[in-house]
C-alpha cells in the first residue's frame, strides 16, 4: 500500500459513524450486512448511511453486492490487512516479528488462514 492510499483509508475511518460502520462490518464477517441492518444497528438514517458507505467504498475499505432488493456491504479484509501492514511495517526497530504476531493472530481469526507457527530463534 502506498502512502496516498493509506491516507485516504485513514481519512475515511477518521469519523465516528464511518468507523462504527466499518467495525460493524468487520464483526459481521465476509458475508456482510444489508444496508438497512447497518442503519438499524447504528441508528443512522438511510441518506446519512449512504453517504458514509460511499466514503468507505471510495477508500476501498468496503465492497457492495446486490441481492434482490437489498444491497449488502462487507469489509474488504485484504485492504484492511494491507493498511495494518503499512502502519506497522517499520515497527519494533526493524524486528516486526515482535509486534506483528499479536496482530496477525487477531486478523487470522476472522480474515483468512490461521498464521503459521513461528519458529523460535536459537
**In this structure, is residue 84 part of a structural domain?**
yes
> Distance between CA 87 and CA 1 in Å, rounded?
10
Statement to judge: residues 57 and 23 lie in one domain: yes
> Distance between CA 19 and CA 52 in Å, rounded?
9
What is the per-residue pLDDT across 55-82, written as a single tens digit (0 to 9) for each?
999 999 999 999 999 999 999 999 998 8
Statement to judge: residues 22 and 61 lie in one domain: yes
Provide the grid cell at 21: 460502520
Q: Does the pTM exceed 0.85?
A: no
Instruction: Give the domain range for residue 98.
Output: 78-111
Helix %, strand %, coil % of the chain (to 5) = 60, 10, 25
Q: Which of 81, 87, 122, 89 has its CA nearest to residue 105?
A: 81
What is the per-residue pLDDT across 16-59, written as a single tens digit (0 to 9) for each?
999 999 999 999 999 999 999 999 999 999 999 999 999 999 99
How many structural domains is the chain composed of?
2
The pLDDT of residue 85 is: 83
Amino acid at each position: 500500500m502506498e502512502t496516498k492510499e493509506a491516507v485516504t483509508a485513514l481519512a475515511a475511518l477518521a469519523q465516528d459513524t464511518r468507523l462504527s460502520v466499518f467495525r460493524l462490518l468487520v464483526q459481521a464477517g465476509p458475508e456482510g450486512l444489508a444496508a438497512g441492518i447497518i442503519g438499524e444497528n447504528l441508528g443512522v438514517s438511510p441518506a446519512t448511511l449512504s453517504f458514509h458507505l460511499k466514503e468507505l467504498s471510495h477508500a476501498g475499505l468496503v465492497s457492495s453486492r446486490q441481492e434482490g432488493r437489498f444491497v449488502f456491504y462487507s469489509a474488504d479484509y485484504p485492504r484492511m490487512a494491507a493498511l495494518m501492514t503499512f502502519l506497522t511495517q517499520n515497527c519494533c526497530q526493524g524486528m516486526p516479528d515482535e509486534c506483528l504476531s499479536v496482530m496477525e493472530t487477531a486478523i487470522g481469526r476472522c480474515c483468512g488462514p490461521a498464521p503459521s507457527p513461528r519458529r523460535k530463534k536459537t
